[in-house]
Amino acid sequence: MPNGGFSACCGAVCRMMSVASEHFDVVIVGAGLSGIGAAVHLQTDCPGRTYAILEGREAVGGTWDLFRYPGIRSDSDMYTLGYVFKPWTEAKAIADGPSILRYVRDTARDHGIDRHIQFGSKVTGASWSTEAAAWTVEVAGAAGETRTVTCNFLFLCGGYYDYDQGYTPDFPGAARFQGRIVHPQHWPENLDYAGKAVVIIGSGATAVTLAPEMAKTAARVTMLQRSPTYVVSRPAEDAFANSLRKHLPAKLAYSLIRWRNVLFGMYFFNYARKKPEVVKQRLIGMVRDQLGADYDVATHFTPRYNPWDQRLCLVPDADLFEAIKSGRAQVVTDQIETFTETGIALKSGGVLDADVIVTATGLNLKAMNGVALTVDGAPIEPGKVFSYKGMMYSGVPNLASSFGYTNASWTLKCDLTCGYVCRLLNHMRKTGLRQCTPRLTEDHMEEQPWLDFSSGYVQRSIGAFPKQGTKAPWKLHQNYALDLMNLRYSSVDDGAMVFSNPIPAPAREPVAA
């Protein structure tokens, strides 16, 4: 099999490469947590494949480089948010953003991934050719120039939200406010809030992170929410994990701690689904234990929905509750009537004075990293395809997305996805086939939203995302153990995944007369 088979250049591929500057076996989109992990898996499990990482920004790190707001940290433990192949060795299990960024960049450097990254290369579109068995990827440069790259497999690892713009509602009177309005996704380096009155609009993970951190120097911090979120406190350091790492080899300790946390997370999620009222009362009781019997937990920390209908908010070492008890921060549950010159007027008639307003109001989501796709000239509408095993799409060949869990750490699913992509690539090389396409054979399978999540940022955009079905492999599991069996150990040739497009036989030289 010439040149390993999968990236053999012949016929149409050669013609495509003649107009494109570069060709790779695999193109990875995004140099964040997912993209760096994908590259390590590819180097380890598919040696000899050529690849490039196309990163639209000028730095490694993705989310952890983009977000610079005060106190940014993980919202899950690093023993499950970390890579399966690289033990987390720092003391804090709930890590700050700079530590996570360093972890990602160290991984890229230690594995030589950084040599494969093309910065300032934003992928805007990709066109599949069955004849060539290749994608032509459209790339926009930092200066506005455009070019194309071709590849045999396209791996989207750029996350699920819009890096260019966060979500901010159209607040009445916002233009009247004389202070500073800031969205956490674009935190200004020179923002001075020391000794000032700060209002943070929101109740999610970003808001509960910002409030205690800004309260350290601000005169007063108010977290203004329309409705409460479940907030759970955990120690920033995992004492058992740190003790175990002192007595066992790093990889063994990391594996044991990782599995302990995975299993507990699965148990807690399933228990919450089966007995939501019991879990709800327990979570609210924990908040009451933190804030005392006199605090109005019913108003400010009792959500209207069941646990895990939205993601739980994690606070390390009860920092939010400590800030509230000290009087440095407060929570107000109300709705905004209008912004004023000096703050916010509430529908209840109350007024919140502010020098700085932070709109921690969420994200804008983008399906398939915002990349416009066509297959043999036909545009792909993300909202009309079905998700295959939570990573590929019906009728779309040689393309996968790295997408994490909503009820557990992001990287758990991404690691499994990367392993499965490598299995596909190796199967195609072994069989001499160049194309793998998920094919939907069910004529009337019920459609369901890709994510069963009631969070506003999901509901605003879910219609533009692929659908899931009710049967395997079109059903999306939020279960690491099931995915481990389905992605690591099951056959890739499952009937729904169609392998095709054999490598053409080399053209024979003409025989001289």
Give the pLDDT band (50/70/90) at residue 509: low
Check pLDDT > 50 for residue 19. Answer: no
2 or 90: which carries more pLDDT confidence?
Answer: 90
Check pLDDT > 50 for residue 77. Answer: yes
Q: Give the pLDDT score at 367.
A: 85
Check pLDDT > 60 for residue 8. Answer: no
DSSP state of 57: S
Check pLDDT > 70 for residue 484. Answer: yes
Q: Give the pLDDT score at 13.
A: 43
> Do the first three CATH levels of 2-163+365-501 and 185-359 match, i.e. the same topology?
yes
Cα radius of gyration rounded to whole Å, the chain: 25
Check pLDDT > 80 for residue 495. Answer: yes
Q: Give the pLDDT score at 165.
A: 84
Rounded to an integer, the average pLDDT of 486-491 is: 92
Q: What is the mean pLDDT of the chain?
A: 91
Give the pLDDT band (50/70/90) at residue 462: confident
Query: By three-state DSSP, how is residue 184 classified?
Result: helix
Check pLDDT > 70 for residue 128. Answer: yes
Q: 246-300 pLDDT, tens per residue?
A: 999 999 999 999 999 999 999 999 999 999 999 999 999 999 999 999 999 999 9
Rounded to an integer, the average pLDDT of 299-324 is: 94
Instruction: Quote the CA–CA distance of 193 and 198 in Å, as a whole number.
Output: 7
Q: Which long-range contacts (CB under 8 A, 24 or more apart) does 10-19 make?
A: 10/503, 10/504, 10/506, 10/507, 11/131, 11/132, 11/504, 12/129, 12/131, 12/132, 12/134, 13/132, 13/133, 13/134, 13/150, 15/132, 16/129, 16/132, 16/134, 16/136, 16/150, 17/150, 19/148
Max CA separation in the chain (angstroms): 101
Sequence-separated (6 or more) residues with CB below 8 Å from residue 415: 37, 41, 83, 84
Q: What is the DSSP string of 187-219?
A: --TT---TTSEEEEE--SHHHHHHHHHHTTTSS
Q: Which long-range contacts (CB under 8 A, 24 or more apart) does 133-137 make?
A: 133/13, 133/398, 133/434, 133/435, 133/501, 134/12, 134/13, 134/16, 134/23, 135/27, 135/398, 135/399, 136/16, 136/20, 137/27, 137/54
Instruction: Quote the CA–CA distance of 117 and 36 in Å, as a whole number.
Output: 9
Give the pLDDT band (50/70/90) at residue 10: very low
Instruction: Quote the CA–CA distance of 321 and 226 in Å, as a whole number.
Output: 19
Nearest to 282 by CA among 245, 312, 241: 312
Rounded to an integer, the average pLDDT of 121-130 is: 97
Check pLDDT > 80 for residue 118. Answer: yes
Domain residue limits, the chain: 2-163+365-501, 185-359
185-359 classified as CATH 3.30.460:
no
Share of the chain above pLDDT 90, in %: 79
Check pLDDT > 80 for residue 454. Answer: no
Instruction: Place domain 2-163+365-501 in its CATH homologous superfamily.
Output: FAD/NAD(P)-binding domain (3.50.50.60)
Check pLDDT > 80 for residue 17. Answer: no
H/E element, 303:
none
Q: Which of 6-20, 22-36, 327-341, 413-427 has the lowest mean pLDDT?
A: 6-20
pTM here? Answer: 0.91
| 91 strand-pairing partners | none
Q: Give the pLDDT score at 228.
A: 96
Q: Is the peptide bond before 212 cis (omega within 30 degrees of 0)?
A: no
| Residue 325: both structure tokens together | 């008890």
Q: 161-189 pLDDT, tens per residue?
A: 888 888 888 999 999 999 999 999 999 98
Q: Which of 29-33, 208-212, 408-412 has the lowest mean pLDDT?
A: 408-412
